[in-house]
Amino acid sequence: MTTSSAPPPPSPEGRAPEEQGPAPRPGRWIDTLTTLLLVATACFVTVSAAPALLRAAGVAPFGPSGTFRSPLRGPGEPHPIGAGLAEDDEDDDHGSEPLLSPRFDPLRDTPRASGSSADTAEPDEGAPRGRMRPAIVRRKATLRLSASEEADPTGEVNVGDSVFVVREQGEWVLVLQTGAEGVLMGWTQRSQLAIR
């Protein structure tokens, strides 16, 4: 066996193998996996956000029907959300528990006492509208669900407690008290309070 000290043949590019640069990295599959993971995440986010973005643009299907709605709908067509509510209003009876009703609207509906319509009257004309007035309890008072002695009690306030008068109706006032136990609200007689 003869060994020759001849240099290795030149590469096709004309350089020796030592001069070609670093060998390919063995961790290249990690880069590929990271890229695939980023692309999959971007696709997931895009697919998840697409319905909301299409609804905001006004071209997405609305509801289970699958039909597309036009953003330039005619003014005579009812809105799909409000459809069906108008005909249900006549037979909608909250009974004596309006807060348990699924469609209780605190701005429109008020709690009703059984057999009495005293709490549906408008407040006194002289009463300030839109602000609560502070008051101090003079005597221990029972708060009631409506402005009548026969109404169910909702709680009690003690002498010296600070309350807010929300609404006034004749000799009755709707008071609100906040404390560590939470919010307490009910009707009591005006003579029980010292209103500022």
| DSSP conformation letters of 44-87 | HHHHHHHHHHHHHHT-SB-STT--B--TT--TTSPPTTTTTTTT
| pLDDT, tens digit (0-9, with 9 covering 90-100), for 86-99 | 445 555 554 555 55
Decide: 159 and 179 in contact? Cβ < 8 Å. no
Q: What is the rounded CA–CA span in Å between residue 29 and residue 51?
A: 35
Q: Which of 11, 39, 62 is the last residue of a domain?
A: 62
Per-residue model confidence (pLDDT) at position 19: 62
Q: Where residue 188 sits, what CATH number does that domain have? A: 2.30.30.40
Output the six-digit token pair for 49.
């956000």
Q: Is 151 exposed, middle or buried (0-12, 13-18, 19+ CB in 10 A)?
A: buried
Residue 34 placed within a domain: yes
Decide: 119 and 112 in contact? Cβ < 8 Å. yes
Residue 144 placed within a domain: yes
Give the pTM: 0.36
Quote the mean pLDDT of the chain: 72
Per-residue model confidence (pLDDT) at position 117: 47
- What is the domain extent for residue 156? 128-196
Per-residue model confidence (pLDDT) at position 188: 92
